[in-house]
Chains A and B, each alone.
Chain A
Amino acid sequence: MIGAIRSEIRKVFTTRLWWGMALGMSVLAALIAMGFAALLGNADMDGGEGQGNPFARLTVGTAQMIYNAGIIQQMTILFPLAMGVLLITGEYRHKTITATFLSTPNRWVVMVSKLVAVAVTGAVYAVLHAAASLAGAVPIIKFVKHQPTMLNEPKVWQSLGIGIIAFIIWMLLGFSVGMLIRNQIAAVLLAVGATFVIQIALSIIFTVKEWYSAMKWIPGQLTTNMVITSNPLAGQSVDPKSAAQYFDHWWQAAIVLIVYAAVLSVTGAFLTTRRDVT
C-alpha cells in the first residue's frame, strides 16, 4: 500500500502538468486577490435589497474574502477540479492504467492510493494558492489602502487552513468525474462546465425565485461557506432571508461537500474495479 501510494505521488510530480496548472492558478489567484483588495472601502459594492456590502469596512470576514478571493469567485477552484480530472483521465488517455493495474492488481488499493495522492496534490495547490493570494493582496491593503492586513487574526489563518480541505475536496470531485467519464476532454468539459455554467444558472434561478435555502446546497456556495468563517457584513443590517443561503458552521458545509465527493468517488471507484481494461 505504501508503495502504491508512493507510485501515485511520483506519477503526479513527474510530468509538467502539475506545475503548469499550479503556475496558472497562482497567477490568477494573485490577480483576483489584488482586485478584491482594491475594492476595499468601495461604497458601490452594496448588493442592494439588504444584501449588505462586505467591502464597506475591513473586518476579519472581509480579509477572509480577499485572501480566498479566487475561491469565492469560483475561478481558481477550477484548477484543482481540472487537475483531479486530468490525473485519472490521463491514465486512460495514455493507457498507463494498464501498467498501474499490472503493478497493483487490487484495484481498490489503486483507488485508495490515488485518493491519497489527490489529497497530497490538493494540499500543495492550496498552500500555493494561499501564498499567491497573500502576495497579491497584502501589498495593496497595506500600501494602497493603508489598512491592517489582519494577518494577526487566527480566524484568517483558520480560513486559509480550511482552504486546504476545500482544495482536496474539489480535486476529489474532479477525480470522481474523471473516473466516471474517462474520456479526458468530455470529463474536463463536464466538470468545468457544471461548475461554471450550471452553478451560475442555479444561483440565478434560486435568487430570482427567492429559494435562498436551496442556494446553500450548491458546491460553490458550500465552498464559500467553508472558507468565510467570520461574517464580513458584521454590524450591517441585512435581509435575514439572504442569510439562509449559508449553513451556520463551516464544517456543516464541508460535510455536505464531502458527501457529494464521496458518493461520486465511491461510484466511480466501484465501476473502475469492475471494468475490463482493453
Chain B
Amino acid sequence: MTTAPPAPPSQIEFHNLSKRFGDFTAVRDLTFTVEPGRVTGFLGPNGAGKTTTLRMLLGLIRPSEGTATIGGRQYGAIANPLRVVGSALEATNFHPGRSGRDHLRVLAAAAEIPDKRVDEMLELVAIPAAARKRAGGYSMGMRQRLGLAAALLGDPQVLVLDEPANGLDPEGIRWLRGFLRGLAADGRTILVSSHMLSEVEQTVDDVVIISNGQLVKSGTMADLHGPSSALVRTSDPSRLAGALRVADVTSHATPDGALLVETDDLRLVGDVALRAGVPIWQLQAQVSDLEDMFFRLTEGQNRNLGDATTAPRAGDAIMGRDGGNEK
C-alpha cells in the first residue's frame, strides 16, 4: 500500500463529490467506495441526494466538486459504457408509444449489441410477450423489469439501480432479491438506491446512508446491526449483573429495571442465573431495529419536510426534480 494501487476494474469510487444547484447544495462532500462482488444499498430519505449522486456517477449531472469514477474512469471516458456499466434510473423513462422491445433495440443499436441479446434479456426478466406491446400500458412492475433488462443489455460488470424495488409487489421484491444476489455472486458490483431500508435489508451486504446530501453512515450490514445482545428481566438485576461479570459478560441496567446483556448466548445467561439463584421472567435475544436506527440516523434532518420554526427555503423547489422516484 505504499503506492496507490490501480482501482479494481469494477470498483465505484466517490471522492469529495458535491453538487450545488444555485445556492442549494444537493450533495455535499460525499466520499465512499462500492466494492465488486457485493450488493451495496445506497440509502436515504426522499430528497437526500441519492438520485443526484447517481446521475453524477453516470455523467448526466456535472459535479460542482469532486469525482465519481468506475474502475478509476469517469463514465464519459468509458468507450461503449453500456458494456461496462448497466443502469436503471427511473422506471418511468420510456416512450409510451414505443414497445419495450423496441426501446431495448434502440439502446442495443447505440451500444452495437446484437438484437438477439434484446430477446434474451426479455426472457431473463420474464416479460418476453408483454414487451411487444407499447410501453404506455405497462405496470410499474413491468417497467422495473424492463429497466433491469435495459441495464443488463451489455452484460456489464457494474450495475447502478435507482429504487429498483419501488412499485414492486412482495413477490416482485423477492424475485429482485434473488436476481441481484445472483448477479453479485458472479462478482459484479451492484449499487442499489432505496428510501426504505426494510426494502433492501435482506438484499444488501453493505450500506451507505446519506441524509441532506451528506454521508451519515457506511459499512457492512453486520456493522449496522451492531454487537448482539439479550434482554433479561429478573427480580434482582444487580445480583445477576454481578454473577454475569464473574462469567466475563458485560451487562447494563435499563431504565425500566431490566438488564441488557452483551451476548447472544441465551443459554449462558440462563445457566449463570440458575447458579446465582435468581429467577428469570424474561430472556430474549435483542434484534436491533434497523428501521428505527435508519430513522434516527436521518431523523429530524429532512430538509424537504421543513418544520414550523423554519420557513421553507427557496432552494427546496429544486428537489421537486427528485419526485420521479416517488411514483
Contacts and interface: CB of A to CB of B under 8 A. Distances in A.
A15 B97 contact: yes
Chain A interface bracket (under 10, 10 to 19, 20 to 34, 35 or more):
20 to 34
A13 to B, nearest CB: 9
A209 interface: no
Contacts of B95: 15, 90, 94, 96
Given A14-B105, A276-B61, A104 B110 contact: yes
Contacts of A7: 106-107, 109-110
B110 A100 contact: yes
Given A14-B106, A276-B60, A98 B93 contact: yes
B62 A95 contact: no
Contacts of B102: 10, 14
Interface in A1-15: 2-4, 6-7, 10-11, 14-15
B82 A102 contact: yes
Given A103-B111, A278-B321, A95 B93 contact: yes
Contacts of A17: 97
A177 B55 CA distance: 26
A11 B111 CA distance: 14
Interface stretch (B73-81, B187-195, B201-209, B212-220): B73-81
A203 to B, nearest CB: 37
Given A10-B102, A105-B76, A94 B93 contact: yes
A10 B109 CA distance: 8
A67 B233 CA distance: 96
Interface string B57-91: 01111100000000000011010011000010110
Contacts of A105: 59, 75-76, 78, 81
Contacts of B75: 105
A112 to B, nearest CB: 13
A144 interface: no
B99 interface: yes
Contacts of B96: 94
Contacts of B174: none
Interface centre among A16, A102, A276, A277 (most CB of B within 10 A): A102
A137 B87 CA distance: 53
A117 to B, nearest CB: 11
Contacts of A102: 58, 60, 81-82, 87, 89
B120 interface: no
A3 B94 contact: no
Interface string A74-102: 00000000000000001000111011111
Contact of B99 (A2, A14, A96, A276): A14
A101 B109 contact: no
A152 interface: no
B98 interface: yes
Interface in A94-136: 94-96, 98-106
B150 interface: yes
B321 A99 contact: no
B60 A101 contact: yes
Interface residues on B, range: 35 or more
B59 A3 contact: no
A264 to B, nearest CB: 24
A106 B82 contact: no
Contacts of A11: 98, 106
A106 B79 CA distance: 10
Contact of A276 (B62, B87, B105): B62
A6 B112 CA distance: 9
B16 to A, nearest CB: 19
Given A94-B94, A106-B76, A99 B107 contact: yes
A100 B110 CA distance: 8
Interface string B156-173: 000000000000000000
Nearest to A106: B76
Given A98-B89, A102-B82, A105-B75, A14 B110 contact: no
Interface centre among B92, B93, B110, B324 (most CB of A within 10 A): B110
Nearest to A101: B60
A14 B107 CA distance: 12
B70 to A, nearest CB: 12
B92 A99 contact: no
A14 B98 CA distance: 6
B82 A277 contact: no
A204 to B, nearest CB: 39
Contacts of B110: 3-4, 6-7, 100, 103-104
Nearest to A93: B95
Given A16-B97, A17-B97, A99-B150, A278 B55 contact: yes
Interface string A191-212: 0000000000000000000000
30 contacts: A3-B109, A4-B110, A6-B109, A7-B107, A7-B109, A7-B110, A10-B109, A11-B98, A11-B106, A14-B98, A15-B97, A15-B98, A95-B90, A95-B92, A95-B324, A96-B93, A98-B93, A99-B107, A101-B60, A102-B89, A103-B111, A105-B76, A105-B78, A276-B60, A276-B61, A276-B62, A277-B60, A277-B61, A278-B61, A278-B321
Given A3-B110, A11-B98, A102-B82, 17 more contacts: A2-B112, A3-B109, A3-B111, A6-B110, A10-B102, A11-B106, A14-B99, A15-B95, A96-B95, A98-B90, A99-B103, A99-B107, A100-B110, A102-B58, A103-B107, A276-B60, A276-B61
**8 closest Cβ contacts across the A-B interface?**
A7-B110, A103-B110, A7-B109, A14-B102, A277-B60, A15-B97, A105-B76, A3-B112
